[in-house]
Amino acid sequence: MRLHEKMAPVSIKRVLISESVDPCCKTILQENGIDVTERQNMNQEELIVQIKDYDGLVVRSATKVTADIIYAASNLKIIGRAGTGVDNVDVDVATKKGIIVMNTPNGNTISAAELTCALVINLSRHVPQAVMSMKAENWDRKKFMGAELYGKTLGIIGLGRIGKEVASRMQSFAMRTIGYDPITPPEVSASWGVEQMSLEELWPQCDYITVHTPLMPSTTGLLNDASFAKCKRGVKVVNCARGGIIDEAALLRALESGQCGGAGLDVFVEEPPKDWTLIKHPNVISCPHLGASTREAQARCGQDIALQIVDMVKGKALVGAVNAQVLACTFSPDSQQWIRLGKAMGRVLKACCSSKQPFAHVHITTQGECLKKSAGFLSSAAVVGLLTEGPEIVPNLVNALPLAEETGITIKRSHSDEAKMACMVEVSVNGSIYKAVGSVQAGVPVLLELNGSVFWQPVPLSGNLLFFKATGSPQLLSSVTGILATAGVAMERFSASSAPGDDQWYCVGIPSQLADLSTLKSLVKEALQLAM
């Protein structure tokens, strides 16, 4: 591979689509040389059997990608969710296995926002109930007295893409839009007409509340007995996000007491529901999870997930990855060489202290303005080099830091604004510190310093390298050359270093590794060899 050629982090040759995804997804993947198999309606056991043959898996929401499936997927490198959210995927286990989990964050934004608005409007005018009454040949004008949206307050919990689109649409009805989001800055939401406040401030002001958050521990049961009690009597709520954000039992109690005046529900804790009590309540409007069920959204999601996979494979970009943000900065020739450097320095340090495992601490320091935002992927790269590859889990940029944490290794990052661009990796083992400093010169990763010894000539980290530590003497080089010659190994390049004291590190480039390092024992104090 040429040094400046773009490098893809993963190779995807076979993809399994386990659900009904727009046909454009399969077409785009196939047009880019990826073999695609479509097999719908598989149960867990069938998917466990099938998945081992594939590099990629594309799902929507029905397929539950459990830990059992992920551990059975010996070749799997990516799980693509054609839609928003990934709560049907065990992301933690996928990350541990080094598998990228990707979704299409923009694919169903408009469709979900429009359905939310439709439910708000229908709640205000009782349209579904009136329709059903008419179909029963009843003419009950007084029974379905509604209310205008004009001048009412809509509380939007979750001010991401969908929350923003809901706000802009409901503002056209002259609704006041307020909201809560722990991530979106208040000045940003204010720019599109949403005043942010705490939940305690929000609850009592709302005539309508809509939720647009992921389902996670902090959002599960967000609307519950306590929060309903703080709302206006008769508040109406909408959930087109994820079942469970609104506590269904609490909602039913609020509906029956009149504290909640109506609910528009597109999602449920259990889908399809087994208990229909809530859905049958006369003030509930419900849909069978239709938020993304438009032709446009399905086409967009199918197209987006296919293009995201293709762009990743071609090394163009990484979009929609929920567990591999570190890779987003790596899609350039320059960053690829720094990744190679980080991995190589990790391997050198691992070899230096291999007999003194385990590592306790790893400290990565970046130097130079251009590397200010590179500590993330350089940390992952160095840890990949430090970790031992196991029979089941191979360390990569996706899982390196979680694996390090699992094994008790503490990772620290820092940056120095020195003029030169370099990366320093320090590891602590049983109280001893081992340090390597490297850089990239003319597109080639090089080692500048090892354990205090500064090399006169930077060591290119490629090919077979023999490192040894010894006391400098005029006869050292000729003696080492003689031992190599006796072993039938020629010296291709040689780098010496300077260091405080008598002992210093040397590096020799050789065409093949020595079969027995003990032949150097009489000349050197330490020796190690690596194939880069």
Q: Which residues are catalytic?
A: 242, 271, 289
Residue 503 token pair: 């002992």
Contact 157, 222 (CB under 8 A): yes
Task: Provide the 3-class DSSP secondary structure of residue 114.
Answer: helix
Find where tokens 């649409």 sit: 169
Secondary structure in 3-state letters for 181-232:
CCCCCHHHHHHCCCEECCHHHHHHHCCEEEECCCCCCCCCCCECHHHHHHCC
Contact 325, 139 (CB under 8 A): no
**What does 465-495 look like in DSSP terms, one character per residue?**
EEEEEEE--TTHHHHHHHHHHHTT----EEE
Contact 222, 181 (CB under 8 A): no
Helix, strand, coil % (nearest 5) of the chain?
35, 25, 40
Cα–Cα distance, 121 to 54 (Å, whole number): 45
Cα–Cα distance, 58 to 51 (Å, whole number): 11
Secondary structure in 3-state letters for 505-517:
EEEEEECCCCCCH
Contact 223, 251 (CB under 8 A): yes
Q: For the range 397-404, what are the long-range contacts, defined as Cβ-Cβ under 8 Å and sequence gap of 24 or more?
A: 397/9, 397/324, 397/326, 397/327, 397/330, 397/339, 398/95, 398/98, 398/99, 398/100, 398/323, 398/324, 398/326, 398/327, 399/95, 399/96, 399/97, 399/98, 401/326, 402/95, 402/96, 403/96, 404/362
| Pairing mode, strands 153-157 and 176-180 | parallel
Burial 412-422 (b: 16+ CB within 10 A, else e): eeebeeeeebb
Cα–Cα distance, 454 to 436 (Å, whole number): 10
Residue 444 pairs with which residues in a beta bridge? 441
Q: Is the dihedral of CA 513, 516, 518, 523 positive or negative?
A: negative
Cα–Cα distance, 218 to 181 (Å, whole number): 12
Q: How many CB atoms lie within 10 A of CB 426?
A: 18
Contact 341, 459 (CB under 8 A): no
